Structure 1
Amino acid sequence: MTLSSTGTKAAGRRFRRATMRDLPQMQAIYVRARHLMAANGNPTQWGNTFPKDEVVRDDIANQRTVLLVDHVGGKERILAQFALCPGEDPTYKHIEGAWLDDDTYVTIHRIASAGLVKHAARECITWALKHYGNVRIDTHPNNKAMQHVLETAGFARCGLIQLIDRPTDTTRIAYQRHEW
């Protein structure tokens, strides 16, 4: 299924849902993202194993994974990927701070760029805002690159949340942007 590519910056780029055929390429992008985060002072957000293979497979099976793709030399490339999760996120129920509102929202999780083009993650976030309007996302306090992307994309820093799916290193900075 092809998603509307409205909002993409470069001709030939589009957004589509991931399929299981994309899994090997997606796993390689996550490996690259983990190495990049560690090299930039953020070794614990994803560690060596996040996201777990079963989570990525579940995202694909439930059509939560969205890919930004292009074509070069007749071959499709994944430029970036993210999970777009509709409905209330249980992790966001408790916040040290305050969300902008209690309106319906989508959450972006597990966003990663292949490093093939500049600003691919920002393009994904812009697409989500255009299509869903009210977006929440969180990132590790050490993930300065993602904080910069979110803040320059107009997201408000709403406070701190605690991840509920792991025993340690649970604090995340919570962001929201609502296109009124």
Structure 2
Amino acid sequence: MRSRRYSSISRGVDIDPSYRLIENGAWGNPGEYGVVHRLAGSGNVRGVGEYCLNWAFAQCHHLRVDTHADNLPMQRLLGKLGFTQRGIIYVREDHDPRLAYDKF
């Protein structure tokens, strides 16, 4: 079976409600920002997540990303790429706490 990768990109100017309130910290830059909502891969091809985040940052030089506290691979990737953990947010879908990161 062939390995498949999928990507979905959406651009807009809406403020993401999940990113309005941040606990235990503050965003590094209050200006306009882009958000990476989903980043997933099979793990069969290394570097895909890094490529996607670098591409997104090249398009929008202020990104916000969130991830679960148990998603250590994503946390390592965000640190490697220069994202800073800023605090905790809660997303509308499940109200679970997420670690919030940004880079600008």
1:172 is aligned to 2:104: no
Structure 1: segments with no counterpart, 5+ residues = 1-74
Q: Which has the higher contact order (CA 8 A, sep 6+)?
A: 2
TM-score by length of 2: 0.85
**1:147 counterpart residue number:** 75
Post-superposition offset of 1:166: 1.9
Greater strand share, structure number: 1
Post-superposition offset of 1:105: 0.7
TM-score by length of 1: 0.51
Structure 2: segments with no counterpart, 5+ residues = none
**2:41 counterpart residue number:** 113
Alignment of 1:95-106 (within 5 A): 95-96=22-23, 97-106=25-34
Please tell me whether the aligned partners of residues 160 and 172 of structure 1 are also in contact (alpha carbons under 8 angstroms).
yes
Greater gyration radius? 1
Post-superposition offset of 1:164: 2.0
**1:88 counterpart residue number:** 15
Please tell me whether the aligned partners of residues 158 and 176 of structure 1 are also in contact (alpha carbons under 8 angstroms).
yes
Please give the root-mean-square deviation of Cα atoms over the aligned residues, in Å: 2.0
* Residue-by-residue CA offset, 1:55-76 (whole Å, 9 max, x unaligned): xxxxxxxxxxxxxxxxxxxx9x
Greater helix share, structure number: 1
After the TM superposition, which segments of 4 or more aligned residues of structure 1 sit over 6 Å from their partners? none
* Separation in 2, partners of 1:130, 1:102: 19
* Separation in 2, partners of 1:82, 1:157: 24
